[in-house]
Amino acid sequence: MAEKSKILIIGGTGYTGKFIVEASANAGHPTFVLVRESTLSDPSKSSVIDCFKKAGVNIITGDLHDHERLITAIKQVDVVISAVGISQTQLADQVKIVAAIKEAGNIKVQDKWEWIGDSTGEFSVKAVRRLLSLGRARSDRYVYSWCPWVPKKCNIFAWRAELNSIPTSLALRNRNIPIDDVSCPLCHFGDESVDHLFSSCWVASSIWQYISSWCKIPLFFVFSFKDILDMHISVKVSDQWRAAIQGILIISCWSLWRARNDLKFSGKPVSIDKIISEIKALSFLWFSNRSKYKDVSWDRWCKFKFYPSEFGNDADRSHAVGPAKTLFATKAQVRRAIEAENIPYTYIHSNCFAGYLLPTLAQSGVTAPPRDKVVSLGDGNAKAVFNEEHDIATYTIKTVDDPRTVNKSVYINPPGNIYSFNELVSLWEKKIGKTLEKVYLSEDQVLKNIEESPFPDSLIMSISHTVFVKGDQTNFEIEPSFGVEASELYPDVKYTTVDEYLTRFV
C-alpha cells in the first residue's frame, strides 16, 4: 500500500481545524498540528488536545509568528492545511506560511537565467573555450541523452520523435501516404506534427502545467520536442531529482502518444486526468525499481501542497460588500502569493457550515429552529449549500493525495445539500407540520442593515448577503479549467444531507 502524505494542520484547535485533524488521523495520514504554547496551557482546549494525542496526532509547539519553528514543522510534512480563523489579520498572516514553505525547500525557487555550460551557472569566455576544446557545440546535430531508468521502449520512442520519425499525420503525408485529415486529433487546432502534438496542443500544455507543479519547478513553456528533452538540464535541483525529472518528461510524452493512439485507432476519448495518473504511477514504479535511488517512497513522490484557509465561499467569485468584501479580498491576496511562488495548492470551498446555520435556519438571535416566523434576506430563491462539518473534513482529506485536485478549487456541492432559503423553510415546515410566517427583506434593506450594524455583526450580515441574496455559492458553472466538485470525485463518501440534519431538531 502506498504511503500516505504527512499533513500539517495550522489552526487545528479551532472550529474547522479540529474536524480536519480528526479526519486526517482517521484516514491514516501521519498528522501534525501546530499549536501555540498558550493553547497547550488553556483549560478550555485541554479536551481537544487530549483527543489529538489519543488519536496519535503529533503536537508541534509554535505559531505563525515564530518563523524558525514554522519552517521546522513544514520540513517534516508533504501537505500544509491552514484552518486559521476568518479575521482579516489571521487570513493575511497566511503569507507567513507561504514564505516559510519557500524557505523550507519544499518547492523550487523562482526561475532565473543561467548558463548551462558550467556547473556554477555563470557565463564566461573560459567556459565557452572549454566546451569547444571538448569538441562540443561544433555541430547542430542533436544528441539524445538516454535515460537509464526508463524502459527501452520509452527511450527509443523519444529518440525517434526527436528525429521526426514517429507516424504523425503530417509525417505520413510528407512520405506520400494518403491522409485525408492531418489535423491534430486531440485539439483540431493545427496540423499533427511532432512539435505541435507535444508542445502546442492544449492537451500537452495542460500536462506540462501539471508536471511543473508536481516536480516543483517554475512553469515552463516548450516550443519543440527538443525543448522537452532538454528541460531537466537547466533546473537547479539535486542530481536525484534531475534524473527523475528527465524520465518523467520522457514518460509524459510516451503516455500522451499512447492516449493519442487509443483515440485515433480505438475511439477512446482522451482524459487528461488518466494521462497524468498513468505518468505518476509508471514513473514511480520504474524509478523506484530501475534507478539507483531505491529509497524513494510514494509519499515523497507525491507533490507538496498548501491548503490556505478558504473554507467558505470562493473569494475569486464573490459579489460581497462591506466587511465581507475586505475579507474575500484578503483571501484573494493570499491566493496570488501562493501562485506567484509556484506552490502547488488546493482551494477548498465548503460553503455553509451546517452547524452554524441549520440549527437556527440562519435566523439571528435564536438558539433553535423557529416554529413561528422566519426572516429571509432577499426573495429567498438564491441557492446555497449546507455541509456538515465532519463531511467537509472528510472531503478535504480525500483530496490530499489526489492529482485531480492539484492547483484546483474543490467545491463541496453535494446535490442533497443545495437549497434555497424558501426550500429550506418548506422542508422544515413539512417536518414540524406547521406553516411559518415569512418576512422578506429587500436587498436595499439588507445593505442598509450592514452599513448601520457594528462589527462583527456587519461581517456576518455581509457574508449572509453574498450567500442568500447574491447566491455566490451556486451562481456560476464549475469549469474543469479551475475547479472540480467533491461529491463527483468521491461518490463513496456518505454525506449527511440537509434533510437528515434537520430531523435532529424535530
Task: List the catalytic residues.
Answer: 331
User: Are the CB atoms for 354 and 389 separated by under 8 Å?
Assistant: yes
User: Are the CB atoms for 11 and 33 separated by under 8 Å?
Assistant: no
In angstroms, rounded to a whole number, what is the distance separating the alpha carbons of residues 177 and 168?
11
Residue with cell 480563523: 85
User: Are the CB atoms for 317 and 349 separated by under 8 Å?
Assistant: no
Query: Which runs of E-coded beta strand occur in 356-436?
Result: 373-377, 383-387, 408-411, 418-420
Instruction: Give one DSSP letter per residue of 57-93, joined into a string.
Output: PEEEE--TT-HHHHHHHHHT-SEEEE---SSHHHHHT
Give the residue among 185, 156, 155, 154 at the shortest CA–CA distance from 168.
185
In angstroms, rounded to a whole number, what is the distance separating the alpha carbons of residues 253 and 258?
9
Q: Is 179 exposed, middle or buried (0-12, 13-18, 19+ CB in 10 A)?
A: middle
Give the residue among 306, 291, 238 at the shortest CA–CA distance from 98.
306
In angstroms, rounded to a whole number, what is the distance separating the alpha carbons of residues 211 and 96?
26
Task: Give the 3-state secondary structure of 217-254.
Answer: CCCCCCCCHHHHHHHHHCCCCCHHHHHHHHHHHHHHHH
In angstroms, rounded to a whole number, what is the distance separating the alpha carbons of residues 278 and 114?
32
Instruction: Give the number of other CB atoms < 10 A from CB of residue 235.
Output: 20
* Coil vs helix vs strand at 8: strand
User: Are the CB atoms for 449 and 457 separated by under 8 Å?
Assistant: no
